[in-house]
């Protein structure tokens, strides 16, 4: 049985599986507003990791650039999403020289 309404059950060659939506957190059953926020934070955190890697920075050097201690950056690498806000992550990306674009679109509301 699907975890959320957005998941669809499919059978191919006798094998039944669940096809998820575009948001893993929705599929896991989080309320819609929380699922959207969690996905945004996860995406921003991955972009920060990628930007740090692109610049060849160590966690210590990146933490210094971002104005935080290295343990704080370690939390990011460990995926501790509850420790970060979208606002904070966007500020970090700006400090890493990234431009952030936000897109808002209509969606079907059940």
Residue with tokens 């991955």: 46
Rounded CA-CA distance 109/9 in Å is 21
| 67-104 confidence digits (pLDDT tens) | 999 999 999 999 999 999 999 999 999 999 999 999 88
Helix (H) or strand (E) holding 61: helix 59-66
| 14-71 confidence digits (pLDDT tens) | 888 878 888 999 999 999 999 999 999 999 999 999 999 999 999 999 999 999 999 9
Residue scoring higher pLDDT (4 or 106): 106
Helix (H) or strand (E) holding 40: helix 32-54
pLDDT at 80: 96
Q: Domains (ranges, CATH) in the chain? A: 48-102 (1.10.260.40)
């Amino acid at each position: 049985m699907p975890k959320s309404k957005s998941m669809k059950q499919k059978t191919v060659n006798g094998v039944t599986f669940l096809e998820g939506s575009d948001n893993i957190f929705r599929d896991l059953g989080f309320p819609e507003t929380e699922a959207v926020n969690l996905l945004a934070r996860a995406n921003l955190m991955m972009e920060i990791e990628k930007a740090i890697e692109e610049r060849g920075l160590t966690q210590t050097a990146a933490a210094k650039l971002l104005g935080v201690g290295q343990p704080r950056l370690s939390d990011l690498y460990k995926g501790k999403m509850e420790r970060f806000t979208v606002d904070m992550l966007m500020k970090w990306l700006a400090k890493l020289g990234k431009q952030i674009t936000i897109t808002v679109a209509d969606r079907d509301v059940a």
